[in-house]
Amino acid sequence: MSIKSLGKNSLIYGFGHILTRLVTFFLLPLYTHVFTPEEYGVVSLAYAFMGFTMIFYRYGMDTALLKYAVQKKDQERGEYISTIYGIQVITSIVFSSILFVSREIIAKIVLGVDKPEWIAVLSGVLLLDALWNLPVLLLRAEEKPIPFIVFNLINVLFTMGFNIFFVVILKMGITGVLLANLTASSIVFIFSLPIIIKRISFSAIQPITLKTVFKFAIPFLPAGIFTMIMELANRYLLNWMASTREVGLYSAGHKLGIFGLIVVMGFNMGWAPYFLKRGKEDGARKDFAQAATIFLGLLGFVIVAVSLWVPEIMRFPIGSRTLIGEQFWSAENVVFCILLAYFFFGTYVIQLPGVYMREVTNWIPVFRAIGAAVNISLNILLVPRYGVIGSAWATVFAFMFMSLSVFIRCHKIYPVAYNWSAWIYPLIFMGVVFITGDDIWTRLAITLFYPVPWFLFVINSEEKTVIKSFIK
């Protein structure tokens, strides 16, 4: 697979990710107009709980499935896929049963409300999501980005449709949000059954394969835990040290920061299969460096452009209303921080080939733990004094230190000759954005000016050739 193929797949994944994320993004006006910041804070806590709990449901099996589906062939591939999915089914049922039985306690501790039925619904959502996510992930391993995106888009469209039905029409409030997710997950699981039937045979399950799978996958469990702590601890710490209102404001700003995440995740979906296949070939490191230049240049432009125009995005008219409810407009400064954090997340993702090629995946939990520790420490330090914006800056430094840690570990064992000026250039522009005022012409000039010096002076001749090949 060439860089051009990587770019093509990343664009498809990115476009699909944009579609799926934009649909969920349009739920934000619904939530910010229907719910108060306090109520939206509870919804955010519920989603945070689902995100954190899903780590235990997957415990690295999704990463293992991608690795062995890419690297194994024929019968052996079928054995690995079937074994991974089989154990996933068993453990997912066990985890959901535990949640259901403990629903009263969990509701009070996690959500701060006496609503055990909400946890019961969430246990069903988590079970169904675990059962359909792995089969659909096989499409990504097989380099079938369009079917992969279609499945995710179906999930989001149904989620959005049922949200409108349960929340707006039936006026079921937070219960309606949860039921919408349960109904959508049920439908997508049904759609995934042909993939399960065609590619997975429970007779092919090999218990002996589990040892190999667990050895690879288990380090991703603590890694996933630390990642979710880094991503979600802000909401709980804000809830404990500030208010549910602050949680709602942070969550609204975090949603708008999704534009940066779209670029990172779109690239990463194509990136992982690419470097797993390409990593041991001649010239791979050179290609990795060029991919980093192009990816970070694009990511930087998106972050700069969105950061400059956040007020207009929030106030974008939709009928008689604005995209974001007026009571959430004070979260606009949060958006810049989240976008900046995702830039550092992108620098982390681009360095992952070294981890896999030198088989030091046991260090991934360490990288994530560093990020989580920084995030929690800075939240405790900054939230009491600065509130929601302090929490947002804690997220920035968490991702920055996580990226720095992977560089320190991998630079010597798997050195890649990156074009460092192409890494620094977006950060310079982000600094300019930080000090830029409200003048519309200044913001427009900065937006349009970004690509010109980058192409003319920052990237080298070989990188220019790669970019021109994309255009052609």
Residues in a beta bridge with 321? 318
Bigger pLDDT: 403 or 75?
Answer: 403
Q: What band does 184 get if pLDDT is binned at 50, 70 and 90?
A: very high
First-to-last CA distance in the chain?
18
pLDDT in tens, 338-390: 999 999 999 999 998 888 788 787 888 899 999 999 999 999 999 888 888 89
Hey, what amino acid is at 300? Answer: G
pLDDT in tens, 395-452: 999 999 999 999 999 888 899 999 999 899 999 988 888 888 778 888 888 888 998 8
Q: Which of 17, 472, 455 is nearest to 261 (CA)?
A: 17
Contact 154, 137 (CB under 8 A): no
pLDDT in tens, 238-282: 877 877 778 778 877 777 787 788 888 878 877 877 887 776 777
Instruction: Say which range, 4-13, 94-103, 299-308, 355-364, has the weakest mean pLDDT.
Output: 4-13
Distance CA(366)–CA(369), nearest Å, equals: 5
Distance CA(414)–CA(377), nearest Å, equals: 31
Structure tokens given for 449: 């000016």
Contact 210, 87 (CB under 8 A): yes
| H/E run at residue 263 | helix 258-278
Q: What is the pLDDT of residue 126?
A: 95
Q: What band does 18 get if pLDDT is binned at 50, 70 and 90?
A: low
Q: What is the pLDDT of residue 21?
A: 62
Strands 317-318 and 321-322: antiparallel
Residues contacting residue 227 through CB under 8 Å, at least 6 positions apart: 55, 368, 371, 372
Distance CA(336)–CA(141), nearest Å, equals: 33
- The mean predicted confidence, pLDDT, of the chain is 84
| H/E run at residue 322 | strand 321-322
Q: What is the pLDDT of residue 432?
A: 86
Structure tokens given for 279: 């990593």
Phi, psi (deg, nearest 5) at residue 321: -120, 175
Phi, psi (deg, nearest 5) at residue 143: 55, 50
pLDDT in tens, 97-148: 999 999 999 888 877 778 889 899 999 999 999 999 888 888 877 878 788 8
Write down the residue that tokens 């052609």 correspond to.
472
Distance CA(189)–CA(146), nearest Å, equals: 18
